[in-house]
Amino acid sequence: MKRFVGYEYITAQAAARRSQNVLGAMACLAGGAQLHTRANLEAIGGQIDTSSLAEDTFTTFKTQLAGNRVVFDGNATVWAEEPDNIDGLWKQRLRWGRGNVQVSFRYKHMWFRPSPDHGLGSYSSGLFWFCLFLLPIFKIVASASFVALFFIDFPLSWAAFKMLWITNAIGYIFITSFTLMIDPETARNTWREAVTFPGLISLAIIHYTLFPRFFKWALLEVLELVHIPASGPVLRSIILFIYFWLAASMLAAWAAKVVESRRRLRWLSPPLVYISGYGPLLCAIMFSSYIKEARGAEMTWDKTEKTEKTGKVAMP
């Protein structure tokens, strides 16, 4: 798990924050890696906002709304303890996710309303924020749309599916390659997690979009090996499963958390993460944060369990 977190931190911090520097609107600088001037702390109220579960995001937003710049420095580093199991990760990221829900509603008046004083209200900044914040919803809607089109207009559903996954393949190759080049040291230890970040099943779908002939040949060989005829109904069932997988991957990732707490089934948890993907696991946690906030759950601060295992994070 810690290697997935290590790779994610290169992506979320070193790569994503660089792009936000270019946009001129920073979504969040990690709380353990923020450096403030005294003047800025006084400008944002003289204290850290503790009324939410994302105090670092609120501080980042308030700094920019006060007319000051937030800049990411990719050359500095900080060492931080991170969870090394799903349960610890789930508690940490659930708090972060709920904090992002609170930020989204607290600043609802600002989104997509450009201001000359800051870049947070720009269209590019809003798209950046909501494409990540609403990713679980997008996955569910996409799956539901493909399944519905499967029965209504199969050729249209297949054309749309290929277009979507070709886009995914291009994004996957670019993001993975760029991220690994940013931090070669971490890349040497996490390249397997980088490659399998979307999950083995999603990775197979990406391979299909890039090498359809080879994938079809391999699929037919596997079906023959397990003595399953490559008939029309079988192939259409596989396609229907692939359509459903965008949403189902989050369920599979959630199952990895469930079995981790079962002593006899704990060994299934790591394979499930690799099959479903670390990305879908984060989406499952984000979706859970929607539910927690909608129910008005008590705000609790579940600290990261201390394991004396550290990870390097780029520091602003």
Residue pLDDT, tens place only, 200-224: 999 999 998 888 888 888 888 888 8
Distances 284 to 75, 116, 148 between C-alpha atoms, Å: 32, 36, 23
The pLDDT-based confidence of 47 (bands split at 50, 70, 90) is confident
pLDDT in tens, 116-138: 888 888 999 999 999 999 999 99
- Token pair 């609790």 is found at 300
pLDDT at 303: 59
Please compute the mean of the pLDDT values over residues 35-55 and round it to a whole number.
86
State residue 206's pLDDT score.
93
Cα(13)–Cα(26) distance, integer angstroms? 11
Tell me: pLDDT of 293 over 50: yes
- How far apart (Å, rounded) are the C-alpha atoms in residues 247 and 253? 10
Q: Burial, 34: exposed, middle or buried (Cβ in 10 Å; 0-12, 13-18, 19+)?
A: middle
Highest mean pLDDT among 14-18, 20-24, 239-243, 297-301: 239-243
pLDDT band at 316 (very low <50, low <70, confident <90, very high): very low
In the prediction, which pLDDT does 250 show?
Answer: 97
**pLDDT at position 92:** 92
| Tokens describing residue 2 | 């810690």
Q: Point out which residues pair with 310 in neighbouring strands.
A: 81
Which of residues 92 and 75 earns the better pLDDT score? Answer: 92
Which DSSP string corresponds to 91-121?
HHHHHHHHHHHHHHHHTTTTTT--BTTBSTT
- R_g of the chain, CA atoms, integer Å: 21
What does the pLDDT look like over 133-190, one tens digit per residue? 999 999 999 999 999 999 999 999 999 999 999 999 999 999 999 888 888 888 889 9
**Cα separation of 134 and 24, whole Å?**
22
pLDDT at 301 (0 to 100)? 66
- 5-14, 119-128, 184-193, 263-272: least confident range: 5-14
Q: Which pTM does this prediction carry?
A: 0.91
Least confident of 37-41, 78-82, 155-159, 198-202: 78-82
- How far apart CA 55 and CA 75 sit, in angstroms, is 24
Look at residue 41 and tell me whether its pLDDT is greater than 50.
Answer: yes
Most trustworthy range by pLDDT among 30-34, 46-50, 215-219, 233-237: 233-237
Neighbours of 258 (CB within 10 A): 13
For residues 309 and 7, the model is more confident at 7
At a CB cut-off of 8 Å and minimum separation 6, what does 164 contact? 142
User: Are the CB atoms for 80 and 32 separated by under 8 Å?
Assistant: yes
Give the pLDDT of residue 10.
Answer: 85
The chain-wide mean pLDDT, for the chain, equals 89
